Structure 1
């Protein structure tokens, strides 16, 4: 029977098992029975069964159905969940029912969260094939950059839903990002195609109640034996699309789901990270855990010298993911941006949220070693093109592949800050990079100049002898320096649409 309260709730028995199925939003057209997993469609005062929905993979997210909060002075309830997959990864969208009858979406976005509402594009959406990654388009007079254009599919769903694409059936999804930090999604999984507009939010700013406790996560189906050596492998994060075996260092592809693991690459020369996987630390007031590590090599176009750097994937339940970057010229902590900075035509500068950045480096990159878990499908040999920009200690970077363009921003960190954050202050010397001052500022300028010259000569001598035997695939053998802020984001390093 229908209810006349503000949320217009409607309840009817599931046609599959008879359990009550409730609709809290008048705009919800589908639901998944929480008892028998039947997918049902609302037809007037009746429910019709369409089939059975696959289970939604349990994860570390604090969100769950019936959690409530406030956004833009409007109360809301989490009523449904959609899990999507594509070639490079997966993401989750939580369906929102506002107390005033409206709908919205709280979705994962490159390790963060974006709150979106339906948008009337004001015109028919163009053919997705005409929206080339990196190109610009306009909606309601606002300029957007095409950041993502791929074929995706629905993997699973639960709760009540405002729309429900056929499970497993591919459809086009395009993501546009603006210089003001907005993200516009164009979805061909609905008929007619639909649009939404949102921006990044922090979960702690949504006054959320009814969140899931950390102890309630279900680990069912998260263990398997390595297809290469047979050793047990544990998968901790629901978002993980790749994981490495701790015994043989093989990279295992999880994009097809547990039970369909494929050996991607055997890594014979493991790189030893300074910060161990599983370590916890506090950076910029946030508690992070190290869940992944990768080493990458770069080469500027037309230059035969290579340089290397490392990236640590950090995770926090409410903040999502970020990257701690260890490069020749220092450390930095960075996150993919929600919006798209504006780059000048010659690529020599870029602007974002009122800050102007100058180009530091442009180069091609390749992943050479990975360890741990990653929320995108990572493998050795993945390639991308980068541009690194800087404004003092602030960093901005562009990473581009054929189907995705990702901007990331962050700040430089001192070696002392990183070492102390992870309880490794006693090993601070191992964290020092080229950004550290070679001598104290109190030393006289003449003596300082002399010492610097001596140090440079010694380093050059060491580099010359060292590079005759080192392996550039696992360590940096070049005297070239690169920015510490540009090796992140994108399909090949920390990206993935959502």
Structure 2
């Protein structure tokens, strides 16, 4: 059993201000002074100042330096302490990685994966890895004999850091990061910010399972005045989540991108034909025993290749301090609650089936999707007109959805939820009729319908079928030009890129 006491530590004065800088891990080569933000490098027993680190951006994480917990590794309950923090930015969004010092002397990474936490440890790739450009999104590759799907290939840069660090890429300089996912839920990242590339492997984990101590009491930003004036109408636009990369103006509904942060040049896009969400932004709802807050809403349209008919659906982005983000999807055929997966389901049969965590799913629909209206805040750079290619799968254990862009493939997993449960969760029982969809109770179980009514309906259906058959026999025999009807209202999960690497 691992001891709760670190094996050893080293402390030396900061060459910038003289404050103590501590190294718990022998693998740590860099640190950021907590007093003057100097970046220092360790050379034996001497610290050398390299410069000053950029200020951290507030990611509303409940984690902080010196928080401690336990992780199950090889059947053992291993203690660890968070000793460092690295913040990255890519075109798909920003993310934070925490350096975890395990009491066996090794280090690991606790990072975020589209709002879910992932615990990874360094592994040997077993071979020389090709350049990042050789990994094409969607392709299959093998690491140590295990097949993985390439889920993302992005250029990222270190934005800021804090604490004790086993690695430190040059600040602001871009490098490649390739994300691989497996059908059993593993994530494997290849970090080209060092030579040779650093490879880490891990799985998603709930913060509750880590038994963490020393967390922040609140994840809400303490500073006042995090807002700006809308570049279109001049009205004040508040930003609640610092991880937000796009937000809508509450006055004119313009979509505003925050890629460069508040205070930088703000780009906006006007929106017309407003769509009113059934659930107001800011609402709290109890789903799966967890209080979720509605922070974003988007309406999307889809169209199957070769089909002239379009269909629409809505997605509510929900946020929880420890669970991250998930999506409440309102489609024609019912409601569903979904969240991004850590692994990548394995496609087979020309993409007609997908397997994930030991279960099989059948392809229901393939279609092109486009965002048509946006409200609230989103953790990825969302734009009106943003396009993805989607595939929806269904199986006995739930729903799977794939969304693909040139830079990333994301998968979501979830389950159907009754309209009554949705209305009750957000205390909108008085409006529950507005939530009803095509997944309503079967006709035979509906109240007020008797046996005589069912017989009459059956007779009417038979008559209609006979008439249709007669018309078909009298037709010219050519195929109809109309498109088939798609009952599903759209994706089982939203376009969730932007959670970024881990």
Give me the TM-score of the superposition, normalised by structure 1. Answer: 0.91
The SS at the match of 2:222 is coil
Does the CA contact (< 8 Å) of 2:183 and 2:346 recur in 1?
Answer: yes
CA distance in 1, matches of 2:142, 2:248: 42
Match of 1:214, SS state, is coil
Aligned to 1:61: 61
Which of 151, 155, 167 is 1:147 aligned to?
Answer: 151
1:7 is displaced (CA, Å) by 3.4
Alignment CA distance shift 1:253-1:7 (3 Å): farther
Q: Residues 410 and 485 of structure 1 are in contact (CA less than 8 Å); yes or no, is this contact kept in structure 2?
A: no
Q: Secondary structure at the match of 2:445?
A: coil
Gaps of 5+ in 2: 462-483
How far apart are residue 480 of structure 1 and its match?
3.5
| Change in CA separation of 1:125 and 1:453 when aligned onto 2, cut-off 3 Å | farther
Matched position secondary structure for 2:373: strand
Alignment of 1:91-130 (within 5 A): 91-130=95-134
The aligned residue for residue 391 of structure 2 is: 387
* Paired residue secondary structure (1:205): helix
Cα separation, 1, equivalents of 2:384 and 2:176: 27
Q: Is the 8 A contact 2:291 2:320 kept in 1?
A: yes
Query: How has the CA–CA distance of structure 1 residues 216 and 86 changed in structure 2, closer, same or farther, with 3 Å as cutoff?
Result: closer
For residue 400 of structure 2, what is the aligned residue in structure 1?
396
Instruction: Tell me which residue corresponds to 1:185.
Output: 189
In structure 2, distance between residues paired with 1:156 and 1:415:
44
Instruction: Check if 1:319 corresponds to 2:323.
Output: yes
Contact 2:296–2:317 under 8 Å retained in 1: yes
Aligned partners of 1:151 and 1:216: how far apart in 2?
Answer: 29
Retained in 1: the 8 A contact 2:61–2:219? no
Counterpart contact for 1:438–1:452, Cα < 8 Å: no
Per-residue CA distance 1:237-279 (angstroms, 9 max, x = gap): 1211111111111111111122114223111222110000000
Query: Is the Cα contact below 8 Å between 1:106 and 1:113 reproduced in 2?
Result: yes
Query: Given that residues 316 and 328 in structure 2 are in contact (C-alpha distance below 8 angstroms), is that contact kept between their aligned partners in structure 1?
Result: yes
In the alignment, the residues of structure 2 paired with residue 452 and residue 393 of structure 1 have an alpha-carbon distance, to the nearest angstrom, of 32
Counterpart position of 2:41 = 41
Q: Which residue of 1 aligns with 2:445?
A: 441
In the other structure, the counterpart of 1:363 is: 367
The aligned residue for residue 465 of structure 2 is none
In the alignment, the residues of structure 2 paired with residue 485 and residue 263 of structure 1 have an alpha-carbon distance, to the nearest angstrom, of 28
Judge conservation of contact 2:359–2:397 (CA < 8 Å) in 1: no
CA distance in 1, matches of 2:408, 2:219: 36
Which structure 2 residues correspond to residues 210-229 of structure 1 after superposition, within 5 A?
210-214=214-218, 217-219=221-223, 222-229=226-233
Aligned residues, how many?
A: 470
Q: Could you say if the C-alpha distance between residues 104 and 495 of structure 1 is closer, same or farther in structure 2, counting changes exceeding 3 Å?
A: closer
Q: Could you say what secondary structure the match of 1:363 adopts? A: strand
For residues 61 and 358 of structure 1, do their structure 2 counterparts lie closer, same or farther at Cα, with a shift above 3 Å needed?
same
**Contact in 2 for aligned 1:180/1:353 (Cα 8 Å):** yes
Gaps of 5+ in 1: 456-477
| 1:267 corresponds to 2:271 | yes
Alignment pair present for 1:423 and 2:463: no
Over 3 Å counting, the alpha-carbon distance change for 1:497 and 1:383 in structure 2 is farther
Retained in 1: the 8 A contact 2:62–2:215?
A: yes
TM-score by length of 2: 0.90
Partners of 2:132 and 2:59 in 1: CA distance: 32
SS where residue 362 of structure 1 aligns?
A: strand
Label 1:197 to 1:215 Cα distance change in 2 as closer, same or farther (>3 A).
Answer: closer
Structure 1 residues 65-124: Cα deviation after superposition (integer angstroms, max 9, x where no partner): 100000011100011111111112111111111111110000010110000001111111
Whole-angstrom distance in 2 between the partners of 1:453 and 1:397: 39
Cα deviation, 1:154-210, whole Å, max 9, x if unaligned, reads 111111111011111000000000111000000001122110001000000001000
Q: CA deviation at 1:129?
A: 1.1
> Shift of residue 445 of structure 1?
5.7
Contact 1:386/1:486, CA 8 A, preserved across alignment: no
Deviation of residue 125 (structure 1)? 1.2
Within the candidate set 481, 488, 491, 2:494 is matched to: 488
Q: How far has the Cα of 1:234 moved from its partner? A: 1.4
Whether contact under 8 Å (2:286, 2:425) holds in the other structure is yes
Who wins on radius of gyration, i.e. which is larger? Answer: 2
Larger mean Cα displacement after TM superposition, 436-445 or 99-108: 436-445
- Of 317, 328, 334, which aligns to 2:332? 328
For the 8 Å contact 2:228–2:238, the answer to whether it is kept is: yes
C-alpha change, 1:114 and 1:448, in structure 2 (3 Å) is same
**CA positional deviation for 1:219:** 2.5
Q: How does 1:151-162 map to 2 (within 5 A)?
A: 151-162=155-166
Paired with 1:188 and 1:297, the residues of 2 have a C-alpha distance of 37
* 2:358 maps to 1:350: no
Measured in 1, the distance between the counterparts of 2:280 and 2:460 equals 35
CA distance in 2 between partners of 1:21 and 1:221 (Å):
33
Is the CA contact (8 Å cut-off) linking 1:405 and 1:490 kept in structure 2?
no
Is the contact made by 2:33 and 2:40 (CA closer than 8 Å) also made in structure 1?
yes
The Cα of 1:349 is off from its aligned counterpart by 1.2
Q: Which moved more, 1:339-348 or 1:359-368?
A: 339-348
- Alignment partners' CA distance in 1, 2:221 and 2:66: 17
Q: CA deviation at 1:288?
A: 0.4
> CA contact under 8 A between 1:387 and 1:486: conserved in structure 2?
no
Q: Do 2:311 and 2:490's aligned partners in 1 also have CA atoms closer than 8 Å?
A: no
Superposition CA RMSD, Å? 2.0
